[in-house]
Amino acid sequence: MTDQNTGTVKFFNEAKGFGFISQDNSSKEYFVHANNLSQPVEKNDKVAFDVREGRKGPEAYNVKKLQ
């Protein structure tokens, strides 16, 4: 098992149920769907997440808000 990635929620549209996370220490951004969240998130929330291959490329899943 690998360590989870950390990042910041760049954008999240609650009505549409998706957003993007900017990975810390990287220029990578990952799509995130509401089904992959353990709790609601908002823009600028710090999160931990795993990455997997989604239908349209890499996506964040198992997303947890950090304190």
At residue 2, the pLDDT reads: 55
What residues does each domain of the chain span? 5-65
Q: Quote the CA–CA distance of 2 and 11 in Å, as a whole number.
A: 26
| Residues sharing a CB contact under 8 Å with residue 60, sequence separation 6 or more, in sequence order | 5, 7, 21, 30, 31, 32, 36, 47, 49, 50, 51
Query: Secondary structure of the chain in the HEC alphabet?
Result: CCCCEEEEEEEEECCCCEEEEEECCCCCEEEEEHHHECCCCCCCCEEEEEEEEECCEEEEEEEEECC
Q: What is the CATH number of domain 5-65?
A: 2.40.50.140
Q: What string of pLDDT tens digits covers the 67 residues of the chain?
A: 457 899 999 999 999 999 999 999 999 999 999 999 999 999 999 999 999 999 999 999 999 999 7
